[in-house]
Structure 1
């Protein structure tokens, strides 16, 4: 069952990435990020309020947001800091790079998760899983060659390093999620609500330094319908992902790889909608990534 939940998470993540590209194109990145996270938080506020006034009903429909001790708040704050840094880097890279380059690089996230799953959680891969992960990495390397044809030098472009950093931090957060769900025993909606709350606070601090004091930046910001939609789609995707992690049999390294199937939406639909270059050539490494994901599922 957890694999199907992972595929649902991948579907909504793919749609989330398309809306995110639309939201940041030619726009100020930090207020867009704050708007998306705030939208996701506002989506969860009614569940938090209902959990206080209609506890039994919320428990029955499995959307009850539980009370947690301060120590657990600290754990969630750490996750918020990790993901805030990852998103700041990712949004800046997405603003300056084609979505058909950014998304495949982020698909290397399962490799970092794979290493962490072996060393931290002692998850044991088999031969098919080894082959699948190396297929993903080799396919991402092929994307780098295609990216050079679009004037993107992977060794000198700072936005490439930004998206690699964002990918590493995102993978670290994925490993941490397993700890929060299976060891701390947080339910998905409780983790999502407090994670959004602390992330909004962190972003407000960042914007108070980098955006609010600058009138020209405030004027450059453009509100778009895709901004709240990004936050809503992300919360839906995270809910399915965290529900999958609640299964004690779920392997984080496989779940992380399954989520990468979002790349189909990003590369195919994204290439058409945003009219990016070399779409056909990008289908070759795309096939390699999907073959790697298939081998992991098959194993």
Structure 2
């Protein structure tokens, strides 16, 4: 069951990435990021209020917000700091790079998760899983060769380093999620609620320094409907991902890989919508990544 939940998370993540590209294109990155996380938080607040007044009905729907200790709040704040840094880097990179370059690099996230799962959680891969993960990494390297034809030299482009940093931090957060869900026994909606609240507060501090004081930057910001869509789709993806992690048999290395199937939506549909270059050539490494994911699932 947890694999199907992982695929649902991948579907919502793929749609989320398409909306995110539209939201940041030619726009101020930090207020867009605050708008997306804030929109998701408003949705969670609404669900929280419904659970207060209709507790029995919401429990039946699998929505139950539980009280947590001060120590647990500290653990969630750490996750908020990790993901705030990851999103800031990722949104900046997405603004300056094609989605068909950004998304495949992000697809290397399972490799970092794979290593962490072996070292931290003692998850044991088999031969096909090793082949699958290295096939994903090789495919990402192939993307870098194609990226050079679009004027994107990976060694000299700072946004490439930004998206690599965002990918590493995102993978670290994924490993941390297993600790929060399985070891601290947090349910998805409770984790999402407090995580979003603390992330909004962190982003507000960043904006108070980098955006609010500058009139030109405030005027450059454009509100788009996709900002709200990104926030809602992200919460839906996180909900199914955390639900999958609640299963004690769920392997974080496999869940991370399953989530990468989102690139099918981002590269194929996104390439058509945003009319990006070399779409056919990018299908070769895309196939390599999907084959790597398939080998992991098959194994």
* TM-score of Structure 1 vs Structure 2, range by shorter chain: over 0.9
Tell me the TM-score normalized by structure 2. 0.99
- What are the residue-to-residue correspondences of 1:266-277 with 2, within 5 Å? 266-277=266-277
**Which residue does 1:209 correspond to in 2?**
209
The CA deviation at 1:62 is 1.3
Asked if structure 2 preserves the Cα contact closer than 8 Å seen for 1:188 and 1:243, the reply is yes
The CA deviation at 1:24 is 0.2
**Which residue does 1:96 correspond to in 2?**
96
- What are the residue-to-residue correspondences of 1:26-175 with 2, within 5 Å? 26-175=26-175
SS at match of 1:167: helix
Q: Deviations over 1:164-202 (max 9, x none)?
A: 000000000000000000000011111111110000000
Q: Deviations over 1:205-247 (max 9, x none)?
A: 0000000000000000000110000000000000010000000
**Which residue does 1:196 correspond to in 2?**
196
Q: Distance in 2 between matches of 1:51 and 1:239?
A: 16
The CA deviation at 1:56 is 2.5
Gaps of 5+ in 2: none
Q: How many residues are treated as equivalent by the alignment?
A: 299
Q: Deviations over 1:122-164 (max 9, x none)?
A: 0000000000000000000000000000000100100000000
Q: Distance in 1 between matches of 2:185 and 2:201?
A: 24
**Which residue does 1:242 correspond to in 2?**
242
Tell me the TM-score normalized by structure 1. 0.99
The CA deviation at 1:61 is 1.9
**Which residue does 2:7 correspond to in 1?**
7
The CA deviation at 1:49 is 1.5
Q: Distance in 2 between matches of 1:210 and 1:121?
A: 39
- Give structure 1 regions of 4+ aligned residues with deviation exceeding 3 angstroms: none
- Alpha carbon RMSD of aligned pairs, Å? 0.6
SS at match of 1:155: coil
The CA deviation at 1:46 is 1.7
Q: Distance in 2 between matches of 1:195 and 1:56?
A: 24
